[in-house]
Amino acid sequence: MQIDFNSLMKKVALIFSFCFVVFSCNKGDRDSQSSNSDKYTDNPKLVVGIVVDQMRYDYLTRFYSKFGDGGFKRMMRDGFNCKNNHFNYVPTYTGPGHASIYTGTTPKYHGIIANDWYDKVAKKFVYCAADDSVLAVGSDSELERMSPHRLLTTTITDENRLFTQMRGKSIGISIKDRGAVLPAGHTANAAYWFRGKDEGNFISSTYYMEELPQWVVDFNASETAESYLKVWDTFYDISTYTESGTDLNNFEGGFKGKETAAFPYDLNALKDQNEGFDIVKYSPFGNSIVADFAIAAVENEQLGQDDDTDILTVSFSSTDYIGHNFGVNSKEIEDTYIRLDNDLERFFKFLDSQVGKGEYTVFLTADHGAVEVPSYLQSVKVPAGYLDFDTRRKQFRAFLEQTYGTTEIVENVSNNQVFLNKEKLEELNLNLQDVEQAFVNELITYTNIAKAYTSTTMSSNNFTTGIESLLQNGYNQKRSGDVIVVNDIAHIPYGRTGSTHGSGLNYDTHVPLLFFGKGIKQGETLQKTVIPDIAPTISALLGISYPNGATGKPLEFVLD
């Protein structure tokens, strides 16, 4: 049999070419799969969530010229700046703020309706982080028994722990207990907060551990807290602080033992009249010690050192204490943000060396803003004022006596809410909805009450805009009151010095939102974003489940 050699070679070449194409296609599929796999496994080694307590958005722009290149400016320059970020509920307090940031929802669902509130079942006030079933660790104080048990939903920290089969660590750190406990979530390895008074230590509770880790014991023994009992003077020459008001004025509180609220402040000399180490909280050095402790936690807990993403939550609380004391227009607030900027820079430099530049992701926001001191606003002819609760209380009691013959149908009034005594209503054969509406009709006539709503209104309507929407997002049917009131703009239940917060107005709702680091685009937007968007965005970055009650949406324009 004669073989056509040329024909045979053509067939061999054809088969070889076919095999090569198939092999190449398969290899391409494998390369694509590998690339796809890397996409979902190349997560940041560490996520750091930073909350600056009582930080208005305009602090970023007002003090911009005083910041260095490595703190706020680094995040704004190299990361993504959401310039129109707001809280989408009322009340704007610390507990609800921290809970909303990390759960991706509002008090309507996560249940932290205030820092403390009237419990309708227990018939007493409860604190958002208090838990009588646990004990303090690192302190003998009965006041430090804390856990997240009143938080009804999961957090991004919880979801990351679940996703990584509990290998990814979650640790919360703050001066305030609620600023550490609520962000760290239910499954946290630890939450640490600062016990002042005569102790000056970071502590925890038996919810997390039976004793403090040795590195925390060592930190507490290092006398770091003592080192901050020093003179607080301005970081730069005070004459250059042109972004704030005069140093000596009538709108600031100051410290016991010092006649004027003006620089400098000798913290060591003043400590005995100002609750010992608590005075550190009311100075920018409270933020510095939190940064010190956060650095120690990253190093000693080896955060960001393996393939499972860890999450560290850090809340800087001294900004809030100082704002309440001195007000948002004070030299003290300006100096505090200048010093916080330095603390952020040294923290980021540490993360660059410890975790690796480009290997971690940071977001920074605030739990609420603050109003300008109303007495200052009055001095420059801006409408503002103070609420006269005594007169309001007397007027309301008279209404109750005249209309119902008793004041006992009201069980509690707090957090701008009225709680009705349901048993008393039943005894008097009164209809709940009729009484609610009668209260609204009465309260809306009072001085400095702008609006009033019933729980029936909050539960039976779907508001999408205005203060009604914010109230509804903050209204939890099982925990909130039966009637809600809204006070006039820039009118607060507070002393005539210092600032406060809690409303649904822009000065309380408009706060920074900066993303920076691995997986984050460089840019900025004026598109409106809301606090519950943060947790879904971080969840999307990590490829993990959203917190189980999340109502926010991932900000895809932030993610690279």
**pLDDT for residue 463 is more than 70:** yes
At residue 41 the predicted structure's pLDDT band, cuts being 50, 70 and 90, is low
**pLDDT for residue 554 is more than 80:** yes
Q: Where are the alpha helices (DSSP H) in 64-129?
A: 72-78, 94-103, 107-110
Q: Identify whether residues 118 and 263 lie together within a single domain.
A: yes
Taking Cα atoms as reference points, which of 327, 312, 433, 304 lies closest to residue 379? 327
Q: Identify whether residues 443 and 520 lie together within a single domain.
A: no
The reply to whether 558 falls in a domain is no
List 516's β-bridge partners, or say none: 362
Q: Identify whether residues 195 and 303 lie together within a single domain.
A: yes
pLDDT score recorded for residue 225: 97
Q: Identify whether residues 442 and 538 lie together within a single domain.
A: no
pLDDT digits (tens, 9 = 90+) for 157-194: 999 999 999 999 999 999 999 999 999 999 999 999 99
Number of domains, the chain: 2
What single-letter DSSP state applies at residue 223?
T
183 upstream amide cis, omega within 30 of 0: no
Mean pLDDT of 504-508: 98
The reply to whether 314 falls in a domain is yes
pLDDT digits (tens, 9 = 90+) for 266-296: 999 999 999 999 999 999 999 999 999 999 9
- Please tell me which residue in 41, 61, 94, 155 is annotated as part of the active site: 94
Taking Cα atoms as reference points, which of 509, 522, 520 lies closest to residue 554? 520
Angle at the Cα of 182 from the Cα atoms of 201 and 336, rounded to 5 degrees:
55
Strand 136-137's sheet: what is its strand order?
A: 136-137, 201-205, 190-195, 170-174, 310-316, 46-52, 360-365, 513-517, 80-82, 523-525
Q: Identify whether residues 346 and 430 lie together within a single domain.
A: no
Catalytic residue flag (residue 94)? yes
pLDDT score recorded for residue 36: 45
Q: Identify whether residues 183 and 301 lie together within a single domain.
A: yes
CA distances from 60 to 65, 83, 422 (A): 9, 10, 48
Taking Cα atoms as reference points, which of 99, 125, 115 lies closest to residue 419? 125
Structure tokens at 402: 């005249």
H or E stretch covering 123? none
Higher per-residue pLDDT: 444 or 34: 444
List 126's β-bridge partners, or say none: 117
Interatomic CA distance for residues 110 and 87, integer angstroms: 15
Interatomic CA distance for residues 385 and 449, integer angstroms: 12
Structure tokens at 557: 């324009």
Domain of residue 144, CATH code: 3.40.720.10
Range of the domain at 461: 388-447+449-487
Half-sphere exposure of 494 (CA within 13 A, CB side): 27
CA 285 from centre of chain: 20
Interatomic CA distance for residues 415 and 484, integer angstroms: 9
Interatomic CA distance for residues 82 and 321, integer angstroms: 26
Q: Identify whether residues 275 and 405 lie together within a single domain.
A: no
At residue 394 the predicted structure's pLDDT band, cuts being 50, 70 and 90, is very high
Q: Identify whether residues 323 and 397 lie together within a single domain.
A: no
* 3-state class (DSSP) for residue 449: strand
Structural Rg of the chain based on CA atoms: 27
The reply to whether 17 falls in a domain is no
Q: How far apart are the first and last CA of the chain?
A: 67
The reply to whether 492 falls in a domain is no
- The answer to whether residues 120 and 139 touch, using CB atoms and an 8 Å cutoff, is no
- The answer to whether residues 353 and 297 touch, using CB atoms and an 8 Å cutoff, is no
List 545's β-bridge partners, or say none: none
**pLDDT for residue 30 is more than 50:** no
pLDDT score recorded for residue 28: 46
Half-sphere exposure of 393 (CA within 13 A, CB side): 7
pLDDT score recorded for residue 500: 97
Name residue 15's amino acid. I
pLDDT digits (tens, 9 = 90+) for 487-498: 999 999 999 999
β-bridge pairing 116-119 and 124-127: antiparallel
Name residue 411's amino acid. E
148 upstream amide cis, omega within 30 of 0: no
pLDDT score recorded for residue 40: 59
pLDDT digits (tens, 9 = 90+) for 338-358: 999 999 999 999 999 999 999
pLDDT score recorded for residue 236: 98
What single-letter DSSP state applies at residue 418?
E
Taking Cα atoms as reference points, which of 176, 153, 169 lies closest to residue 101? 153
The reply to whether 7 falls in a domain is no
Q: Identify whether residues 523 and 478 lie together within a single domain.
A: no
Interatomic CA distance for residues 247 and 358, integer angstroms: 41
Domain of residue 482, CATH code: 3.30.1360.150
- The answer to whether residues 498 and 252 touch, using CB atoms and an 8 Å cutoff, is yes
**pLDDT for residue 90 is more than 70:** yes
**pLDDT for residue 26 is more than 50:** no
Q: Identify whether residues 179 and 268 lie together within a single domain.
A: yes
The reply to whether 494 falls in a domain is no
Query: What is the average pLDDT score of the chain?
Result: 94
> Dmax of the chain from CA atoms?
122
Q: Identify whether residues 374 and 392 lie together within a single domain.
A: no
Q: Identify whether residues 466 and 509 lie together within a single domain.
A: no
Q: How many CB atoms lie within 10 A of CB 557?
A: 13
**pLDDT for residue 2 is more than 70:** no
Helices (H) and strands (E) in the chain — how many of each?
22, 22
Give 195: exposed, middle or buried? Use CB within 10 Å, 0-12, 13-18, 19+: buried
Mean pLDDT of 55-78: 98
Mean pLDDT of 533-560: 98
Strand 410-414's sheet: what is its strand order?
A: 410-414, 417-420, 483-487, 449-454
β-bridge pairing 310-316 and 170-174: parallel
The reply to whether 493 falls in a domain is no
List 98's β-bridge partners, or say none: none
- The answer to whether residues 171 and 301 touch, using CB atoms and an 8 Å cutoff, is yes
β-bridge pairing 529-530 and 231-232: unpaired
The reply to whether 396 falls in a domain is yes
Interatomic CA distance for residues 451 and 423, integer angstroms: 27
- Ranges of beta strands (E only) in 20-65 are 46-52
Interatomic CA distance for residues 522 and 516, integer angstroms: 8
CA 556 from centre of chain: 22
